Amino acid sequence: MKTILITGASSGIGRATAEAFLQNGWHVGLLARRAEMLEEITREHTTALPLRADVTKLADVENAVTTLVTKWGRLDAVFNNAGIFTPQGTIDEIDPNDWHQSLAVNLTGMFNTARVAFAQMRTQTPQGGRIINNGSLSAHSPREGSICYTTTKHGVTGLTKTLSLDGRPFHIAAGQIDIGNAQTDLVERLNNHLIAEGKPLMDMMNVSEVAQSVLHMANLPLSANILFQTILATNMPYIGRG
Which of 207-212's residues contact partners 24+ apart within 8 Å by CB, and which partners?
207/12, 207/13, 207/16, 207/182, 207/183, 208/16, 208/20, 209/182, 210/13, 210/16, 210/17, 210/177, 210/179, 210/182, 211/13, 211/16, 211/17, 211/19, 211/20, 211/21, 212/20
**Residues 43-54: pLDDT tens digits?**
999 999 999 999
Residue-averaged pLDDT of the chain:
92
- pLDDT (tens digit per residue) in 35-86: 888 888 999 999 999 999 999 999 999 999 999 999 999 999 999 999 998 9
Per-residue pLDDT, 242: 44
Q: Is 149 a catalytic residue?
A: yes
* CATH top-level class of 3-232: alpha beta
| pTM confidence score | 0.92
CA atoms within 13 A on the CB side of 82: 32
The single residue of 6, 9, 149, 163 carrying the catalytic annotation is 149
Q: Which residue has the higher pLDDT, 53 or 192?
A: 53
The domain ranges of the chain are 3-232
Averaged pLDDT, 107-112: 98
